[in-house]
């Protein structure tokens, strides 16, 4: 999380639990401002989400990967829906030495399949489910080395996921150079979106032209560079409005808007509510 956690039973690093229809719909309350990677494996029934403006239905053995900043809404689920969900803080995910390619793992389905889900072989799905249940067990244990064990289990989970991805995604659909540029851009965002809202900064950091970066991001996702920057700004602003005592002017300053009025206009346009209205809905 970017700040303190607003939920019980989560230390801000990792959380894993089995979910049903009611629990799953709570995710709509968090996806707008939570800086965590989420892995949802469908075990039974079905789940329908809207991702990037398109409906996507998940069925047994489908793995859905939520990456920070992606606009996703859960719209329907079967009465018998059952899944298992693992959440891991964005920073712990990227900083662990064994999972430095976390961003690549999370975004590979989007790059190759243009959607944030994988349909896994049943054996692979069962292996990942077993690992997620093992993580759940340690989260609720009093093991004196719990944090270290959880980091190791998370690393193994990601390696198993990468192995499953290689089986599920047989062919490259975009040139490797395009894939590398997009992943490198996504790596830059968490550390720079607040201070840099312009395409030129990211293009310069990647040693390419703004036009080429725009073309790459649109080719891979159908979205623009500014869409990604704005989504991260909206996520951070939403989180601060819901969990902090900072004034709207202070949030605008933290996110490097020229003035509070321009921040309010941006938030209202993208969220559909003014910052004050959104905060009052807490």
In a domain, 128, yes or no: yes
Both 163 and 211 in one domain: the answer is no
Predicted TM-score (pTM) of the model is 0.75
Choose the final residue of a domain: 168, 187, 220.
Answer: 168
Beta strands of 45-156 (E only): which ranges? 47-51, 54-58, 62-66, 72-77, 82-89, 117-119
Report the distance separating Cα 91 and Cα 93, nearest Å.
5
Tell me what pLDDT residue 271 has. Answer: 85
Name the domain boundary from 150, 168, 186. 168
* Same domain, yes or no: 220 and 140: no
- What DSSP state is assigned to residue 144? T
Assess if residue 85 is contained within a domain: yes
Residues 137, 205: one domain?
Answer: no
| pLDDT, position 101 | 63
pLDDT for the residue 260: 93
The reply to whether 120 and 246 lie within a common domain is no
pLDDT score for 28: 67
Residue closest to 69 by CA, chosen among 2, 123, 136: 2
Query: Which pLDDT score is estimated for 95?
Result: 55
The pLDDT, as a whole number, for residue 9 is: 52
Report if residue 242 sits inside a domain. Answer: yes
- Residue 268's pLDDT is 93
Whole-number pLDDT of residue 193: 93
Range(s) of the domain holding residue 239: 195-280
Q: For the chain, 282 residues long, give each residue's pLDDT as a single digit of tens.
A: 334 444 455 566 788 999 998 888 777 666 555 677 889 999 999 999 887 778 899 999 999 988 776 667 888 999 999 999 998 877 665 555 555 566 777 777 777 777 888 999 999 999 999 999 999 999 989 999 988 898 889 888 988 998 888 888 866 677 888 888 988 898 888 889 999 999 999 999 999 999 999 999 988 877 899 988 998 898 889 888 888 889 999 999 999 999 999 999 999 998 888 999 988 876
CATH at 233:
1.10.10.60
157-163 LR contacts (CB < 8 Å, sep 24+) = 157/39, 157/86, 157/128, 157/131, 157/132, 158/98, 158/99, 158/102, 158/105, 159/98, 160/124, 160/127, 160/128, 160/131, 161/39, 161/63, 161/105, 161/128, 162/101, 162/105, 163/124
Let me know whether 160 and 25 are in one domain: yes
Inside any domain, residue 178: no
Rg (CA), the chain: 19
CATH number of the CATH domain containing 95: 2.60.120.280
Counting the structural domains of the chain, the total is 2
Based on the fold, state whether residues 119 and 246 are members of the same structural domain: no
């Amino acid at each position: 999380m970017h700040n303190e956690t607003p939920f019980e039973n989560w230390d801000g690093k990792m959380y894993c639990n089995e979910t049903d229809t009611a629990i799953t719909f709570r995710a709509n309350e968090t996806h707008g401002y939570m800086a965590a990677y989420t892995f949802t494996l469908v075990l039974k029934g079905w789940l329908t989400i809207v991702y990037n403006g398109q409906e996507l239905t998940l069925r047994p053995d489908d793995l859905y990967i939520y990456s920070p900043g992606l606009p996703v809404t859960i719209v329907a689920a079967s009465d018998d829906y059952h899944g298992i969900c693992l959440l891991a803080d964005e920073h712990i995910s990227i900083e662990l030495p064994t999972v430095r390619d976390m961003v690549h793992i999370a975004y590979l389905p989007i790059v190759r399949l243009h959607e944030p889900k994988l349909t896994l072989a049943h054996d692979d799905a069962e292996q990942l489910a077993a690992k997620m249940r093992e993580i759940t067990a340690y989260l609720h244990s009093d093991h004196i080395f719990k944090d270290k064990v959880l980091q190791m289990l998370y690393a193994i989970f990601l390696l198993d996921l990468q192995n499953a991805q290689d089986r599920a995604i047989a062919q490259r659909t975009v040139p490797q150079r395009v894939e590398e540029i997009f992943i490198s851009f996504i790596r830059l965002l968490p550390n720079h979106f607040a201070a840099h809202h312009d395409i030129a900064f990211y293009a310069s950091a990647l040693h390419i032209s703004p036009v080429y970066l725009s073309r790459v991001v649109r080719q891979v996702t159908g979205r623009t560079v500014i869409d990604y920057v704005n989504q991260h700004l909206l996520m951070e602003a939403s989180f601060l409005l819901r969990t902090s005592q900072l004034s709207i002017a202070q949030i605008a300053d933290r996110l490097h808007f020229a003035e509070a009025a321009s921040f309010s206009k941006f938030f209202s346009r993208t969220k559909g509510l003014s910052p004050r209205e959104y905060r009052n809905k807490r």
